[in-house]
Amino acid sequence: MNLAVVIATMDRPSHIERNLASLRRSRVLPDEVVIVDSSRGPMTRQIVERWSARWPAVRYVAAPNTGCSRARNIGVSLTSTDLVLITDDDCLMHEACVSEVIQTFEEDPDASCLTGAVHAQGANRGQIAVAVKSNAERREWSGKCRPWGIGHSVNMSLRRTAYNWIGGFDEEMGPGTSLIAAEDLDLLYRLLRAGGKVVYQPAAIIYHDQWRSRSEARRRRSEYAQGTAAFLLKHALVHRDGYVLKMVPARLWEDVPLLALIGLVKRNLELELVSLYQAWGLLWGLWIAGRYYGWGRRAVSAPLAAQA
Spatial separation of the C-alpha atoms in residues 10 and 88, rounded to whole Å: 10
Q: Parallel, antiparallel, or unpaired: how do β-strands 156-159 and 197-209 relate?
A: unpaired
Instruction: Identify the DSSP state of 31.
Output: S
pLDDT given at position 25: 97
Spatial separation of the C-alpha atoms in residues 123 and 129, rounded to whole Å: 7
The 10s digit of each residue's pLDDT in 226-279 is: 999 999 999 999 889 999 988 888 888 888 887 888 888 888 888 899 899 999
pLDDT given at position 55: 98
| Residues 230, 235, 237: CA angle, nearest 5 degrees | 90
Contacts of 57 (CB under 8 A, 6+ apart): 29, 30, 31, 32, 33
Domain regions of the chain by residue span = 3-212, 215-307
The 10s digit of each residue's pLDDT in 114-157 is: 999 999 998 666 678 899 999 999 999 999 899 999 999 999 99
pLDDT given at position 30: 98
Q: Parallel, antiparallel, or unpaired: how do β-strands 32-37 and 3-9 relate?
A: parallel
The 10s digit of each residue's pLDDT in 48-81 is: 999 999 999 999 999 998 999 999 999 999 999 9
What is the CATH class of 3-212?
alpha beta
Burial environment of residue 45 by CB neighbours within 10 A (0 to 12, 13 to 18, 19 or more) = middle
Contacts of 215 (CB under 8 A, 6+ apart): none
